[in-house]
Chain A
Amino acid sequence: MSLSPTDVERIAHLARLQLSEAELASYSVQLQAIVTFVDQLQAVDTVGVEPMVHAIELSNVLAADEVREGLSRDLALSNSPDHDDECFRVPAVLG
Chain B
Amino acid sequence: MEWQFASAAEISRQLSSKQVSATEIAKYFLSRISKHNQAFNIFVHVDEELVLKQAAEIDARRARGESELGALAGVPVAIKDLLCTTDMPTTCGSRFCEKYISPYDGTVIAKMRAAGMPWMGKTNLDEFAMGGSTETSIFGAGRNPWDAQRTTGGSSGGSAACLAAGLSPLAIGTDTGGSIRQPAAFCGVSGFKPTYGRVSRYGVVAFASSLDQVGPMAHTVEDLALAMDVISGHDPLDSTSLPYAKPGYTTSLSQAPQRFRVGVVREQIESDGLNAEVKQAILKTLDVLKECGADVREVSLPHSKYWVPAYYVIAPCEASSNLSRFDGAHFGFRAEPLEGKKSKSPLVEMYSSTRAQGFGAEVKRRIMLGTYALSSGYYDAYYLKALQVRRLIRQDFDRAFEDVDILVGPTTPNTAFKIGEKVDDPVQMYLEDLYTVGANLAGLPALSVPCGRSQVGLPIGVQFQGRPLDDALVLQIGHRYQQAIGWRPTPAPLS
Interface residues of A (CB under 8 A from B): 1, 3, 7-8, 10-19, 27, 30-31, 33-35, 37-42, 44, 46, 49-56, 58, 61, 63, 71, 75-76, 78-82, 88, 90-93, 95
User: Which A-B residue pairs are the 10 nearest by beta carbons?
Assistant: A55-B443, A51-B387, A81-B334, A79-B331, A55-B196, A91-B346, A46-B388, A18-B356, A52-B391, A18-B352
Q: Are A14 and B375 in contact (CB under 8 A)?
A: yes
CA distance A56 to B443 in the complex (A): 7
Neighbour of B389 across the interface among A1, A41, A95, CB < 8 A: A41
CA distance A6 to B492 in the complex (A): 49
CA distance A50 to B387 in the complex (A): 8
Interface residues of B in 352-409 (CB under 8 A from A): 352-353, 355-356, 359, 364-365, 367-369, 371-372, 375, 378, 381-382, 384-392, 394
Q: Are A58 and B103 in contact (CB under 8 A)?
A: no
Contact (A16, B240) CB under 8 Å given A41-B385, A41-B389: no
Contact (A90, B211) CB under 8 Å given A3-B372, A37-B430, A78-B103: no
Rounded to whole Å, the gap between the CB of B311 and the closest CB of chain A is 9
Contact (A80, B347) CB under 8 Å given A34-B369, A37-B312: no
Interface residues of B (CB under 8 A from A): 99-101, 103-104, 195-197, 210-211, 236, 239-240, 242-243, 303, 305-306, 308-310, 312-313, 320, 327-334, 337, 345-353, 355-356, 359, 364-365, 367-369, 371-372, 375, 378, 381-382, 384-392, 394, 426-427, 430, 440-443, 468
Q: Are B372 and A31 in contact (CB under 8 A)?
A: yes
Specify the main secondary structure of chain B where it touches its partner.
helix
Q: Are B346 and A58 in contact (CB under 8 A)?
A: no
Q: Are B372 and A11 in contact (CB under 8 A)?
A: yes
CA distance A82 to B331 in the complex (A): 9
A-B contact pairs, 12 of them (CB 8 A): A18-B353, A37-B427, A41-B389, A42-B385, A49-B391, A52-B394, A54-B240, A55-B210, A56-B468, A58-B243, A71-B104, A92-B346
Q: Are A44 and B387 in contact (CB under 8 A)?
A: no
Q: Contacts of B236 on A, CB cut-off 8 Å?
A: 63
Q: Are A17 and B210 in contact (CB under 8 A)?
A: no
Q: Are B391 and A51 in contact (CB under 8 A)?
A: yes
Name which residue of chain B comes closest to A10, CB basis. Answer: B375
* 12 additional A-B residue pairs with CB within 8 Å, beyond A17-B368, A18-B352, A49-B388: A11-B375, A15-B367, A15-B371, A19-B356, A31-B369, A37-B430, A46-B388, A46-B392, A51-B384, A51-B391, A55-B442, A91-B337
CA distance A13 to B303 in the complex (A): 35
Q: Contacts of B334 on A, CB cut-off 8 Å?
A: 81-82
Contact (A16, B351) CB under 8 Å given A27-B365, A51-B388, A58-B240: yes
| Pair count A-B, CB < 8 A | 172
Q: Contacts of A51 on B, CB cut-off 8 Å?
A: 384, 387-388, 390-391
Q: Contacts of B441 on A, CB cut-off 8 Å?
A: 55
Q: Contacts of B195 on A, CB cut-off 8 Å?
A: 56
Q: Are A55 and B385 in contact (CB under 8 A)?
A: no
Q: Are A41 and B333 in contact (CB under 8 A)?
A: no
CA distance A61 to B234 in the complex (A): 12
Q: Contacts of B390 on A, CB cut-off 8 Å?
A: 51-52
Name which residue of chain A comes closest to B323, CB basis. Answer: A15
Q: Are B101 and A78 in contact (CB under 8 A)?
A: yes
CA distance A79 to B92 in the complex (A): 15
Name which residue of chain B comes closest to A44, CB basis. Answer: B389
CA distance A12 to B348 in the complex (A): 12
Q: Are B312 and A34 in contact (CB under 8 A)?
A: yes
Rounded to whole Å, the gap between the CB of B429 and the closest CB of chain A is 11
Neighbour of A33 across the interface among B332, B381, B426, CB < 8 A: B426
Q: Are B101 and A17 in contact (CB under 8 A)?
A: no
CA distance A14 to B430 in the complex (A): 25
CA distance A58 to B197 in the complex (A): 10
Rounded to whole Å, the gap between the CB of B337 and the closest CB of chain A is 8
Q: Are B355 and A7 in contact (CB under 8 A)?
A: no
CA distance A30 to B350 in the complex (A): 26
Q: Are B364 and A17 in contact (CB under 8 A)?
A: yes
CA distance A16 to B371 in the complex (A): 10
Contact (A17, B365) CB under 8 Å given A37-B427, A44-B306, A49-B392: no
CA distance A17 to B364 in the complex (A): 8
Contact (A34, B347) CB under 8 Å given A52-B387, A54-B210, A55-B210: no
